[in-house]
């Protein structure tokens, strides 16, 4: 079985006045099912640009990205939207929950967009909330939840449709150290117990240490691909 996500010779170049900025320079990335991979590097190194390309938000100038063996680019916008909805989950630093919807309504949205019936979507959302320890907060609005609880709702929304890979952009960036540790432990548990695949852009070395691999970026390239010691 091939990797769930594979990028080959990806380049992203932006115009900058009369010159250009090479944000991502010929990057190769391969993520297997069940891996938990961190992408680290200083600000401006290209890690967020790379994540945007891998998620289909931004298109590379050259190179290929495949998710579950299917090309993410060179296809129609509708096909890419379908792939993102079916194969990818997303966890953002700012939670990105819809404030007028309850926790369970936020979580069921991906299933409804995929064509599940209302009853199927609700059942799936409640199961996902249970998996992140928020069954008792299902009917609460985001404003009625703590930051850590909101991020747990975001995690449930990301995993509710069993995506091939969940892409995370600084998932603990807006949380205090104690809550960050709790969210990290949740991601680690989902990875170990459910074989959920994560690709995480982070500045936090604590997150990288808990991942199975760390990709270190500098000046638009991956300068190190380190496999971390397995925890017992």
Q: For residue 74, with 0-12 CB atoms within 10 Å meaning exposed, 13-18 middle and 19 or more buried, which class applies?
A: exposed
- Residue-level pLDDT at 218: 95
Range of the domain at 212: 31-41+76-227
* Residue 57 contacts residue 83 (beta carbons within 8 Å): no
Asked if residue 58 is part of any domain, the answer here is: no
Instruction: Please provide the DSSP assignment of 7-57 as one string.
Output: EEEEEEEEEETTEEEEEEEEEEEEE-TT-EEEEE--TTSSHHHHHHHHTTS
The tokens of 97 are what?
């929950």
Tally of structural domains, the chain:
1
Asked if residue 142 is part of any domain, the answer here is: yes
pLDDT tens by residue, the chain, 232 residues: 579 999 999 999 998 888 899 999 999 999 999 999 999 999 889 999 999 999 999 999 999 999 999 999 999 999 999 999 999 999 998 999 999 999 999 999 999 999 999 999 999 999 999 999 999 999 999 999 999 999 999 999 999 999 999 999 999 888 888 998 999 999 999 999 999 999 999 988 888 998 999 999 999 999 999 998 754 3
Asked if residue 182 is part of any domain, the answer here is: yes
Asked if residue 232 is part of any domain, the answer here is: no
Asked if residue 24 is part of any domain, the answer here is: no
- Residue-level pLDDT at 43: 87
Asked if residue 65 is part of any domain, the answer here is: no
Asked if residue 175 is part of any domain, the answer here is: yes
What's 213's domain CATH number? 3.40.50.300
Asked if residue 197 is part of any domain, the answer here is: yes
d(CA 73, CA 53): 10
């Amino acid at each position: 079985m091939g990797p769930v996500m594979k990028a080959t010779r990806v380049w992203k170049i932006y115009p900058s006045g009369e010159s250009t900025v090479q944000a991502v320079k010929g990057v190769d990335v391969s993520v297997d099912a069940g891996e938990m991979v961190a992408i680290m590097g200083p600000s401006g190194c290209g890690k967020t640009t790379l994540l945007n390309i891998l998620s289909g938000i931004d298109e590379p100038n050259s190179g290929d990205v495949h998710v579950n063996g299917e090309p993410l680019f060179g296809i129609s916008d509708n096909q890419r939207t379908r792939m993102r909805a079916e194969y990818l989950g997303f966890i953002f630093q700012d939670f990105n929950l819809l404030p007028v919807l309850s926790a369970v309504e936020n979580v069921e949205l991906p299933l409804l967009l995929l064509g599940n019936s209302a009853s199927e979507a609700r059942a799936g959302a409640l199961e996902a909330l249970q998996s992140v320890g928020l069954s008792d907060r299902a009917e609460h609005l985001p404003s009625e939840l703590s930051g850590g609880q909101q991020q747990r709702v975001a995690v449930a929304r990301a995993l509710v449709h069993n995506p091939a890979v969940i892409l995370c952009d600084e998932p603990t960036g807006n949380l205090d150290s104690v809550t960050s540790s709790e969210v990290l432990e949740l991601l680690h548990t989902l990875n170990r117990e459910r074989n959920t695949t994560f690709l995480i852009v982070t500045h936090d070395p604590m997150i990288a240490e808990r991942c199975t691999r760390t990709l270190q970026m500098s000046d638009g390239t991956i300068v190190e691909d380190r496999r971390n010691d397995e925890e017992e």
